[in-house]
Amino acid sequence: MSIAVCPGSFDPITLGHVDVVRRGRTMFDHIIVGVAHNAAKNYMFSPEERVRLAQESLEGIDGVTVEIVPGLLVDFAKQAGASAIIKGLRGAADFDNEQSMALLNRHMGSIETVFIMGAPHLAHIASSYVKDIARYSGDFDDLVPPAVARAIRERKDTNV
Ligand code: PNS
Q: What is residue 156's predicted lDDT score, i.e. its pLDDT? A: 79
Q: How far apart are CA 70 and CA 64, in angstroms?
A: 19
Which residue has the least CA distance to atom 4 on ligand 1? 8
Sorted by sequence, the CB contacts under 8 Å of residue 49 that are 6+ apart come out as 151
pTM: 0.96
Cα gap 34→21, rounded to integer Å:
11
| Residues in the chain, overall count | 160
Q: Is 79 exposed, middle or buried (0-12, 13-18, 19+ CB in 10 A)?
A: exposed
> If you average pLDDT over every residue of the chain, what do you get?
96
Atom 13, ligand 1: residue with shortest CA distance:
73
- Identify which of 5, 10, 37 to mutate to test ligand 1's pocket (most ligand atoms within 8 A of the CB): 37
CA 99 to chain centre: 17
Q: Say which residues have a Cβ less than 8 Å from residue 27's Cβ, sequence separation at least 6.
A: 2, 4, 86, 114
| pLDDT class of 159 with cuts at 50, 70, 90 | low
Pocket of ligand 1, beta carbon within 6 A: 7-9, 36-38, 41, 69, 72-73, 101, 104-105
Mean pLDDT, residues 50-75 taken together: 98
Average the pLDDT over 39-63 and give the result: 97
Of the pLDDT bands very low, low, confident and very high (cuts 50, 70, 90), residue 67 is: very high
